[in-house]
Structures are given as C-alpha cells and as structure tokens.
C-alpha cells in the first residue's frame, strides 16, 4: 500500500508503522489518521504479521500532537464529530486490535500523540521523550481518549495534574508513573521493541488476541471483565493453538503454533 504520511515495512513477523511527517513533527491530521487506520487494518489481516510496532520518523517526535490548523475554526458539532470519528477509526480501533501493538515513543508525544501511544497495548520510550496533554492551554480538552486512558494508566490524581497544568513529563517520570514500561536510548528503542515482539511471537497469537479482549473488557464501562475472561478462556479450548500448546508441553518440546 502506498501512503503519503506513513511508512510501513514487514519483516520476520513484525510490521513497523512509522508516522512520516518530520517537518510537522509527525503531527496527526485527518489524512494521517485515515492512513494509520488502513495500515493497522491491513497489518491485522496479514497472517504473516504477529506484532505491530508504531513509531515516528526522525529523532525529535513520536507525534507532537494534532494538526491544530485543521480544526481551529470548527463549530461544536464539527468538533464532536472530529473526536467521534478519530476515536472510532484509530484510537479505539488500535486498542481493540487482536494483534499486539507496541508504541516506540522516540521523542515528543503530546496531545493526540500521547493519546495514540496510550491506545497501544505497550509503550516503550527513548530517554529524550517528553509526554503531555496540553489541550487546556488551547481552550479545549483531550478528545481522543486522553481523559479516560491516562487515569487508567497513572491514576486520577496524576492524570488531572498533567491535564490541568498542560505540562510535560520526561521519560523517567513516565516510567515511574507506569505510563511507559521501559526507557532506553534512542538507538536501543526499536531493537528493544523487536526483542519484546520476538518474545510475544513465541506464544499463541490466538491466545494473545483473547487476552487483549479480556483485559480491555475489565476497563470498559458496562462490561464484566471476569465474564469476558471466562468466555475467552473457554473458547481457547476449541483452538488448534491450545491443542498444539498442551501437546507440546506434555511431549516436552517447543510449541509450533498454527495461529488458529
């Protein structure tokens, strides 16, 4: 697939999606959001892709925010539709993807950039990364899930402090908050993401997709995570991956999961 604002590459079970708008510090505009949706959808459908790594081009920014020039003159109705569409086709879409997504945060992750990283299943950061939700400094609030995902990850008090001060935190603080899992140098960032992806690929992709669904259900209003876990656990018994995994364990050999 040919894109104007992103790059995609698939090797050895890993698809890397790179947001490629370096002159705009990889800011999200509507075209980039649409392209990301298409890239994630294609990677998820590709049976050769077991893990997706998302990062930004260059050494300054993962995503420095949304492209403000696109919505500066929006009405209330247009603003609401912007948030609803973006959440549906990208942020909620990524969070509920069955293929695990690792965000490799290689610089500024602000506003929509941090919201995109938080929609990913796991976040890694380079030591120069800075994160924040500066929306209230523009007279608006986070609209792509930031007010919901940030408290889930760092707690209500820290989330409100970050949102209400519109300030940035560095990578080590983000790690201490639980916002990112690991902090490494920029040179080590993608290799670490690939190392983690390779660990995931040794396991059942079918079981991983079911685990993602169960974990997400526990954080979604109106859903019972325990019931979802029980249902997905039961469904696992009907898969070829379960048969292979248990057979391999009993035969004391490494499992070769068929992905079914």
Contact call for residues 180 and 123 (beta carbons, < 8 A)? yes
The structure tokens listed for 176 are: 């201490």
Q: Is 232 helix (H, G, I), strand (E, B) or coil?
A: helix
Distance CA 141, CA 133 (A): 8
Distance CA 62, CA 46 (A): 25
Other Cβ atoms within 10 Å of 222 Cβ, number: 5
Handedness of CA 133, 27, 113, 81 (dihedral sign): positive
The structure tokens listed for 185 are: 């140098």
Q: Which of 35, 95, 115, 194 is catalytic?
A: 115
Whole-Å CA distances, 70 to 73, 79, 146:
8, 11, 19
Q: Which of 35, 95, 135, 194 is catalytic?
A: 135
Say whether 95 is catalytic. no
DSSP 70: G
Nearest CA to 65 among 43, 34, 32, 93?
A: 32
Give residue 204's region: left, alpha or beta (phi > 0; psi -120 to 50).
beta
Handedness of CA 89, 177, 53, 213 (dihedral sign): negative
Say whether 59 is catalytic. no
Contact call for residues 19 and 67 (beta carbons, < 8 A)? no
Distance CA 79, CA 86 (A): 11
State the catalytic residues: 115, 135
């Amino acid at each position: 697939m040919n894109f104007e604002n992103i790059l995609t590459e698939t090797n050895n079970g890993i698809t890397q999606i790179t947001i490629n708008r370096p002159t705009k510090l990889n800011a999200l505009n509507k075209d980039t959001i649409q392209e990301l949706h298409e890239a994630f959808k294609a990677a998820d459908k590709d049976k050769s892709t077991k893990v997706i790594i998302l990062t930004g081009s260059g050494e300054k920014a993962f995503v420095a925010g949304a492209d403000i020039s696109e919505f500066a003159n929006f009405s209330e109705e247009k603003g609401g539709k912007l948030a609803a569409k973006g959440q549906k086709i990208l942020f909620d879409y990524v969070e509920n993807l069955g293929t695990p997504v690792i965000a490799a945060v290689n610089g500024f992750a602000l506003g929509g950039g941090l919201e995109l990283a938080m929609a990913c299943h796991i976040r890694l950061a380079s030591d120069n990364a800075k994160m924040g939700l500066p929306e209230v400094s523009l007279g608006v609030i986070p609209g792509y899930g930031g007010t919901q995902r940030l408290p889930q990850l760092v707690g209500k008090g820290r989330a409100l402090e970050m949102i209400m001060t519109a300030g940035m935190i560095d990578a080590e603080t983000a790690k201490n908050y639980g916002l990112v899992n690991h902090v490494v140098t920029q040179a080590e960032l993608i290799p670490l993401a690939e190392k983690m992806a390779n660990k995931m690929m040794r396991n059942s992709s079918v079981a991983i997709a079911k685990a993602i669904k169960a974990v997400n259900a526990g954080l979604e209003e109106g859903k019972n995570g325990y019931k979802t876990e029980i249902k997905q656990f039961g469904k696992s018994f009907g898969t070829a991956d379960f048969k292979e995994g248990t057979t391999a364990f009993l035969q004391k050999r490494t499992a070769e999961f068929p992905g079914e």
